[in-house]
Structure formats: C-alpha cells, structure tokens
Amino acid sequence: MKIIYLWQLVKLARMPIVFAVIPIFLIGVLFALRTGAEFSLSNFLWGFSILFIIEIAASFANDYFDYEADKHNKQIGFSGGSGVLLEYPELLPFAKWASVCMFLLALLLTGFFIIISSVPFWALGYIGVAVFFCWFYTAPPLRFVYRGLGEIPHLLAGVMFPGWGYLIMTGTITIDLLIFAIPFGLLGLTVILNFEIPDMEADINGGKQNLIVNKGRYFSFIIIFCLYLSIFLYFLILAVSRWMDTTLNLWAITFLSLIPLMIALLSVVKKPIQHEIATKYAIRNAVAGFLVSFLIMASLFI
C-alpha cells in the first residue's frame, strides 16, 4: 500500500470518535472496581483491544456503505463520514474487507479471551451482538440507518460499552450494573441525534430515515434536551434513594449531568434550524455529552 494512503486510513478510522467511547467503557471497569472486583491488567487489555478493533471496523464499514450518501454530505469532523473514500475511491475495497477482517478478528480474540480467562462463554454472544449492529447499521440487507432504526444501535451501545468493561472485570452482568448503565444508553442516543443534525439535507438526499429527516432539526433538539433531562432526573432519583450511596457519589454524578442539560437548553430556547447555526449547537451538545462522560469517569476514581 502506498505511503500516501497511511494517513488516509487513520482518518478513515475516525480516531476521535473511537477515543470518545473509551470513557464509557472505563466507567464500567471502574464501577466493577467500586463494587468489589479486583483489577486484572490482562483482562483489561484484552477487553479494550476487542472494543478498539470493533470501533475501527465500524468506522471503515460505515464509510464504505455510506459512500453514495456521503456524496451529499459535508464532512465536519464528527459527522458526515471521514470523506476519505470520496477522495480516494480506490480504497473502497480495502475499507470493506478490512472491516470484515477486523470484525472477525474481534470475535476470534473474544474466543481466545474466554479460553484463557474467567470470562463466560456467552461473552462471545455479547460481542457478536455488537458486531451485528455495527455491521448492519449501514450494510445491506438490514441497513438500520436507512430504515428508521439507526438510533437503536446507539442506545444499545451506550449500555453495552460499560457492560463490557464490567464484564471483563467480574465475569458477569448484574442488575446493579444495568441500573447504573441505563443513563449511558440515553447518552448514546443523544450522540447519534447530535451527529445527524448537521447531516439532515444530505441524509434526505441519501435516502436515510431518522428522527431528523422525519421530524426536523428543532424537534430533534427538543428530544436531545429531554434525554439529558431524563439522565439528570434518573441520577437524581438514585441519589435521593441513596442507592449504593456507600459505593458511589451519586450527588456528584447528578450535578455533572446538569452540564449537557444546560447546554441543550440553549438549543431549545434559540430554536436553530438553519444548517450552519444548528451545526454549531449540535457540536456544543455533543461536546457536552462527551465531557460529562469523561467527568463521570473521573469521579469514579475519587
């Protein structure tokens, strides 16, 4: 492969987005440690490597199967695809088969991980579900994002990322983990809604079906605000009920969840619907969401 392509492949992997999911994964790891699990460096490295490979494979696959739709898009960093395949269409076959190989590698590594550790056999199914939704998010015949179902994988991912971090440390999934992870599923949903706002016109031209295409930008801003509000109220209820109050500082987490809520409120008040202005508010919302996940992760260290 030509040297000129190496940087393009890094761009195709969309590393900022890959790194943005790491705090959610670490939240699951830290929650496990807070609830009595012992840290295993080998389990952590295996689990992180599998997640990392899946995320890069998803970026490759999405850009490949969104090639035609992205012709209508403007790449702005976190949405609209990487733009690499539009500029270098000769990389299309590589993107497709590299993603296939990486998804298979993730499953293979999970199998080895199960053999050498105490992680249960059903963990292979757990990763299999992740691979399934990552591939068929844009790939035929299911093409979730083209059938009005693209938000579902992101909702699931928001729960499954911390779940995977918890699973590799404890060897199981508990009801306490699920209770704690639900708000991160809602947070995952805000991510895709914020990403879709700048792409509305391109998604319409590209044949995608999503909330923004069907209901418009302002309705999506309202939904994003409601999701952030739900996250805040959820943590507030947990804090008031003193759920696991000897293990977690839920009042601190509740306070942190006000950050994206206040930022999202601005987009509801200002009612931005024009592309450039709406994009600025969507970026602010997305950054606030990433920031709160990082801060919640940091709070679990204290």
User: Residue 159 belongs to what domain range?
Assistant: 4-299
Return the percentage of the chain with pLDDT > 70, whole number: 96
Residue 83's pLDDT band, with cuts at 50, 70 and 90, is: confident
Q: Cα(141)–Cα(103) distance, rounded to whole angstroms?
A: 18
Buried b (16+ CB within 10 A) or exposed e, 29-68: bbbbbebebeebeebbebbbebbbbbbbbbbbbbbbbbbe
Confidence grade of residue 7 (pLDDT, cut at 50, 70, 90): confident
Task: Quick: pLDDT tens for 210-245.
Answer: 888 999 999 999 999 999 999 999 999 999 999 998
* pLDDT on residue 2: 63
Provide mean pLDDT across the span 191-200: 92
Residue with the bigger pLDDT between 152 and 8: it is 152
- pLDDT value of position 96: 96
What is the reported pLDDT for 78? 56
pLDDT at 120 over 90: yes
Amino acid at 80: G
Task: Enumerate residues 6+ apart whose C-beta is below 8 A from 117.
Answer: 40, 42, 43, 46, 168
Q: Pick the closest to residue 26 from 184, 208, 200, 231 (CA basis).
A: 184
Instruction: Inform me whether the pLDDT recorded for 74 exceeds 70.
Output: no
Count: domains in the chain = 1
pLDDT score of 35: 94
State the pLDDT confidence band at 75, using cuts at 50, 70 and 90.
low
User: pLDDT for 129-188, tens place per residue?
Assistant: 999 999 999 999 999 999 989 999 999 999 999 999 999 999 999 999 999 999 999 999
Name which residue leads in pLDDT, 8 or 60.
60
With CA atoms as reference, report the closest residue to 51 among 129, 163, 191, 161.
161
Residue range 49-63: mean pLDDT, rounded: 95
CATH number of 276's domain: 1.10.600
pLDDT given at position 76: 60
What does the DSSP 8-state code read for residue 35? T
